[in-house]
Amino acid sequence: MQNKTVSSRRSILKAAVALAGPVIVAPRVLGLEGTAPSNRIAMGFIGVGGHGHNYNLKSFLNESDMQAVAVCDVYADRAEAAAATVEKKQGAGCRQYGDFRELLAAKDVDAVCISTPDHWHVPISMMAIEAGKDVMCEKPTLTIAEGRTLTDLVQKSGKVFQIGLEDRSVIQYHMLAEWVRNGAIGKLHTIRVKLPKGDIYKKEEPAPVPAGLNWAMWQGPAPEHPFTPTRTGPMQWRNIRMYGGGLLADWGAHILDTANVANFAEETGPTEVEGSGFIPPDAMNTMPVTFDLRYKYGNGVEMFVESGAVALKFEGDKGWVGNTGWRGRPEASEPSILQTKYKPGESKLWARPPGEHRDFLNCVKARSQRTTYPAEHAHRLSTTMHIGAIAMELGRKVTWDPAKEEFVGDDAANKLRSRESREDWKTKG
């Protein structure tokens, strides 16, 4: 596909070049005042639907040392809308692509932000790194095996990698993890997590692919399937196994990260899990919409994950802390716990970082792989959710070895660490 430029101001500039030679655009026109050209990070945005456009693109555009030079989406109208947002903010448009490979081949792109469905996260991230780009990518991975492959590539390449997950920058979750890690509730023994219930989506008959959608590229490495009217909806695809991991992987990534961090498990994870989940019959959903899981960690801590709301609670031998609702106000067994503060250097938890967009740019400039969410932490978080999904699929307890990253003496479970991927998308896209 040929890339496409937006009209108006960018077209005028191109016409001026043709008539009068090179045009120098002032930083104020691009919305980049106060930032030297050598310090601006040129970014491309792959996947500019709802979250990719309204949250990731717009958040990066608020950073004066970032310049959006390209956007890409398999829906042509989404790429056009994103380019219009860039033009409005920066004063000049950017290139539009329908094929991410063309964006990755662009020499002027320093880094990319990937906001696609889950089944594309690792393939595009790896291709971006191999093309020499730094990467920010939405969570989670699709399988355990691909998460390890990506993490190893990140570490070997020296490229900066960050997942799009804001929780470690959210003060409520940072305080909860800090109190638990520093013993404010005594010795931790139980973690209780609640996640929202999933919606049920009716099966649909195949329909014509709408104009402006590259359906072959949307599917990519996933099993081939006819287009259906709402299949690409943001919550529909998340609940289809070939594209996502359901509510456990979606909402779970938020709440379970704080659980792992509070339990010093961000680089290891649970050792066993058992439980059940409900997949509605005769529905588009192929991942559980409700679940009830019990995890156990190597230090003896148990974690219970169930459907019904959004909540997090840590119980220790001297009290408890927790909250209800997304970013809910922290509560505790004793009011004094909520007043506990730690001086610099005293806490057993890192300082609360800036938001993931600002942190990513800082790390790109510093050439630091220690982002808010390093690749290893992102992989371990995804693995926590994947082993829960595997236990539900098998309908029994599974035992996990975090060091070897394999299920102990369980061939059936180990086969589910990966899934077959199609390669023919490379010629169909």
User: What pLDDT digit, counting tens, does each position of 330-359 carry?
Assistant: 999 999 999 999 988 899 999 999 999 999
pLDDT band at 13 (very low <50, low <70, confident <90, very high): very low
pLDDT of the residue at 37: 53
Cα–Cα distance measured from residue 171 to residue 177, given in angstroms and rounded to the nearest whole number: 10
Q: Which residue has the higher pLDDT, 27 or 236?
A: 236
pLDDT at 290 over 80: yes
pLDDT of the residue at 416: 98
| pTM for this prediction | 0.90
Tens of pLDDT, residue by residue over 235-277, are 999 999 999 999 999 999 999 999 999 999 999 999 999 999 9
pLDDT at 1 over 50: no
Q: What mean pLDDT is predicted for residues 285-291?
A: 97
Q: Which residue has the higher pLDDT, 16 or 360?
A: 360
pLDDT of the residue at 367: 95
Cα–Cα distance measured from residue 403 to residue 269, given in angstroms and rounded to the nearest whole number: 9
Percentage above 70 pLDDT, the chain: 91
Q: Are 390 and 373 in contact (CB under 8 A)?
A: no
Cα–Cα distance measured from residue 96 to residue 57, given in angstroms and rounded to the nearest whole number: 14
- Partners of residue 43 on adjacent β-strands: 68, 111
pLDDT of the residue at 386: 98
Structure tokens that stand for 316 in this block: 């220790």
pLDDT of the residue at 92: 87
Say which residue the tokens 């660490």 belong to. 417
Tens of pLDDT, residue by residue over 137-194, are 999 999 999 999 999 999 999 999 999 999 999 999 999 999 999 999 999 999 999 9
Q: What mean pLDDT is predicted for residues 225-240?
A: 96
Cα–Cα distance measured from residue 373 to residue 364, given in angstroms and rounded to the nearest whole number: 14
Handedness of CA 110, 351, 174, 347 (dihedral sign): positive
Query: Any idea what DSSP says for residue 116?
Result: S
pLDDT at 371 over 80: yes
Give the chain's mean pLDDT: 91
pLDDT band at 33 (very low <50, low <70, confident <90, very high): low
* Domains by residue range for the chain, with CATH: 4-167 (3.40.50.720), 168-349+375-409 (3.30.360.10)
